[in-house]
Structure 1
Amino acid sequence: MLISGVLAGYVYFFILEKPAEPNKWDAAERYVWNKIKFDQDAQVISADGSEYYLLANKGAAAEDKLIIFFSGGGVAWDAETAAQPISLSHVMKNGEIKYYFPNIPFFKVSTLGGLLENNNPDNPFKDWNIVYIPYSTGDLHIGNESKEYTDAKGKPFTMRYNGQTNTRAALEWITNHFAEPEKILIAGESAGGFGAAFWAPEIAKRYPNARIYQYSDGSYLNADRWPDIIDNEWKANFAETFGYEVHGDLISSVFEANRKLLPDNAVLLQSNTLYDELLFDFEKDLNDDDSDDGEYIDLWSARMLQSAGELSDTVPGYYYYITDYGLNEKTGRTPHTLSPLNHFYKAEQDGVKLMKWLDDAVIKDEYYSVGRHFVK
């Protein structure tokens, strides 16, 4: 019922928050979300064949401060998961959020809060320019394949894992419209946290004089299947495309590689909640694990903490924020992501708000980890 209410709210607010569609970026108003369409030759598309576009918001900071934010929105890795996209009707009917968004939701603009509110005086990133890269391909922003699947009823359908082409088109637009930012926060939540990590080196190459901060929020999924999914299902051609191999602890393998691929002064940031209410369930499915949810979420949490600890010990310039903020005493679970929601302003651990931690790291260049007592 809560999910239904939230989505109903999105529908209501959509009327007030429909993105503007300026003819040219130069004519776009400040503090307004703008729909950025691509030329036909860009070959961008969503998983279900619908339109793909960017959302961009001008701040008051000219072009010297830029957030490139990769959207989350689930993941698909075979015919079964690809046949079960997230839809408003399905969520309201069944209360389930599986597995991925096959298109850009019409209410998307209404969901962009927290860090993405560049007109909020409480936001330390007020006035920053933001380019939001939507996610509607189920492939962590890196797929490069169109698959012909059959659903459980025997009906054929096409799944377009087009994240790689969509992202390249997005980065080309960004490069053409933001000449030389001084600081770039390359961020993402959930699946978008993986996308931000994957594409950070490419963005850094395009802006060799910018100070780079890469931030992944709520992005921990550990499965031995990742290399197979990425190259054999999504056809990402990962090693050739990105320059390294990945392993089961996917986000850790990317952070480790990024330390070598990014400039020496680039900062690597990660946040997770202690008992993420969604990630453990996705990871269970990825691993075909039928154990009890309570048992598995403890396993997920332990591995996430171990990963953060190992990265902190071995990767210079890596810092984490781990919190039990929002712990539901009945379910024993914590919120999934924090940064693009009102949680960004409220989440606090050991006397340090998430908002302050990110402000200190990116704006003040003061770096530290939070939630150290969780990491053993």
Structure 2
Amino acid sequence: MRIKKILKIIGILSVLILLVLSGMYVFILQYPEIKDHPKMGKWYRVTTNEMKSSDGSKYSALFKKGSENNIIVYFAGGGVSVNKEMARQETYNTKRIPIDIVANLTMNMGGIATASEDNPFKDWTVIAFPYATGDFHIGTGEFKYTDNNGKERTLYHNGFINFTSAMRKIMEYADIADPAKVFVTGYSAGGFGASLLADDIFSDYFPKAKSKTVLADSSLLLNDSWHSIATDVWRSPKHISDRLVSNNITLDSLTALHERWGDKVNILFDSSTRDGDLAKVQNYFDTGNMKVDEEKADKYQQILKETIPKFKKQANAYIFIWDGLPWYDDPQNLTMHTIIATPAFHNKFKKIDISICDWVINAVNGKMEDYGLNLVDKIYPPTDK
């Protein structure tokens, strides 16, 4: 009898704890839905019935209104899916992370959207798009595949629908139609998204902004099938997929952006010299194997070296190449993947005495410069494997 009573008490306490946690999620940890005239400095969720993650679950963008009349449109990264094998492996974020963790961590852990006093963007309005669709934020389709258990599934490449639905709602509620400066950026998959969607943002939402800047952070992958992936897998809008004419999706997008806008848009690209994560995905595209070593990092460094002159000539882009930051997965002369969402965004690099943050804010204000281009020729001695 005593044991049953104890178990009953434990059960009641468990229910009460669950109710408290649920209440905290709904009323404290979860950001409120955006409404008319949002308060300055407060994060909001932006959701519509059209918006969904790759597994069909609810998706929401994030919004914070700043005190300055300037806007960051910020695309998060998190992998990619280009075929049935990658869909099965789930080498991409599959759903909107709960409890608004993207805003609490990615947007506030020391990177470009942090509210710290030394951040020149701290008072800017932020429109943030978490990544949960595997399509560089540009899909509109449903991709059928069979999972590893033999079950038929649908991957919702809903990125472009999420983007346009959220932007319409934000423009309706947020009173931000006429900003002075607009900065479109993203890291990894979000950097691809920034380059692919910058023209839509400048054309459809903020055409009168006097300063327009786009930065693709750590977003360089070569694939001969980018056009067919965009059209047949992601079902991207034709005005986006039509720009994809080579094996370099970022170069094609930024080139088209420059051809349309000329010097009215400042175009930026940054990468570490031997990006470990991009080397992995590039090796998968080339060989079907995601495993990477120093040889594959050598190849990424060579791709970077060959691409920079094309960025300069075709897109009039300004470049920041960097290294010297630890990579989190393998010590074999692989370099860090992405920087703008990390505290390193504000750190000055040795020898050149400038941070990515300083480089970006200078560009936003019209001062365009290249840094670190000589690093593509840097020789990295082999390490013990």
Q: Same fold (TM over 0.5)?
A: yes
- Shorter-chain TM band: 0.7 to 0.9
- Deviation string 1:65-90 (CA, Å, 9 cap, x unpaired) is 000001111101122211222xxxxx
- Residues 299-358 of structure 1, C-alpha deviation per residue, up to 9 Å, x if partnerless? 111111221222224433x10111013145932122111001111112525222111111
Q: How does 1:199-218 map to 2 (within 5 A)?
A: 199-206=197-204, 207-210=206-209, 211-218=211-218
Q: Distance between the aligned counterparts of 2:102 and 2:136, measured in 1?
A: 18
**Contact kept? 1:118, 1:128, Cα under 8 Å:** no
2:53–2:158 Cα contact (<8 Å) kept: yes
Whether 1:236 aligns to 2:241 is no
Residue of structure 2 in register with 1:160 after alignment: 156
Whether the 8 Å contact between 1:47 and 1:161 is mirrored in structure 2 is yes
Shift of 1:140: 0.7
Offset at residue 274 of structure 1 (A): 0.9
Is the alpha carbon distance of 1:121 and 1:81 closer, same or farther for their aligned partners in structure 2, counting shifts above 3 Å?
A: same
Tell me, in whole angstroms, the C-alpha distance in 1 between the residues paired with 2:225 and 2:192: 16
Query: Contact 1:325–1:347 (CA<8 Å) still a contact in 2?
Result: no
TM-score, structure 2 normalization: 0.82
Q: 1:37 aligns with which of 40, 43, 47?
A: 47
Checking the alignment, whether the CA contact within 8 Å between 2:46 and 2:63 is kept in structure 1 is yes
SS at match of 1:352: coil
CA–CA distance in structure 2, aligned partners of residues 278 and 37 of structure 1: 31
Residue aligning to 1:74: 79
Partner amino acid, structure 1, of 2:203: K
CA contact (8 A) 1:188 1:195 kept: yes
Counterpart among 86, 100, 108 of residue 102 in structure 2: 108
What is the letter of the counterpart of residue 341 of structure 1?
T
Specify whether residues 370 and 19 from structure 1 end up closer, same or farther in structure 2 by C-alpha distance, changes over 3 A only: farther
Instruction: State the Cα RMSD in Å.
Output: 2.3
2:93 matches 1:83: no
Q: Distance in 2 between matches of 1:119 and 1:148?
A: 41
- Structure ID, larger Rg: 2
Instruction: Describe the superposition over 1:60-112 as per-residue Cα deviations: whole angstroms up to 9, x where unpaired.
Output: 21xx2000001111101122211222xxxxxxxxxxxxx10111112322222
- 8 Å CA contact retained: 1:59, 1:118: no
Deviation per residue, 1:32-62 (Å, 9 max, x gap) = 3221222x2xx1111101111111112221x
Question: Which amino acid in the other structure matches residue 245 of structure 2?
Answer: V
Q: Conserved in 1, the CA contact under 8 Å of 2:276 and 2:336? A: yes
Whether the aligned pair in 2 keeps the contact of 1:322 and 1:371 (CA below 8 Å) is: yes
Who is 2:65 aligned against? Answer: 58
Whether 1:127 aligns to 2:120 is no
From 342, 351, 354, the counterpart of 1:352: 354
Deviations 1:233-273 (A, max 9, x none): 222254x4465233211111111111012353210011101
TM-score, normalised to structure 1's length?
Answer: 0.84
Alpha-carbon offset, residue 158 of structure 1: 1.1
Stretch deviating more after TM superposition (245-254 or 287-296): 287-296
Distance 1:58 1:204 in 2: 19
Name the SS of the counterpart of 1:287 in structure 2: helix
Is the Cα contact below 8 Å between 2:81 and 2:135 reproduced in 1? Answer: yes
Check conservation: 1:73, 1:100, Cα contact below 8 A: yes
For 1:262-281, list aligned pairs within 5 A: 262=261, 264-281=263-280
SS at match of 2:185: strand
Kept in 1: contact 2:280–2:292 (CA 8 A): no
Q: How much has 1:281 moved relative to structure 2? A: 0.5
Q: Which residue of 1 aligns with 2:7?
A: none
Are the counterparts in 1 of residues 221 and 249 from structure 2 also a CA contact under 8 Å?
A: yes
Say if 1:75 and 1:23 are closer, same or farther in 2 by CA, change over 3 A: closer
Count matched residues. 341
Mapped partners of 1:339, 1:347: distance in 2: 13
**Change over 3 Å in CA distance of 1:241–1:311 after alignment to 2:** closer
3-state SS of the aligned residue for 1:74? Answer: coil
Structure 2 runs not aligned, ≥5 long = 1-23, 378-385
Quick one: percent identity of the two aligned structures? 27
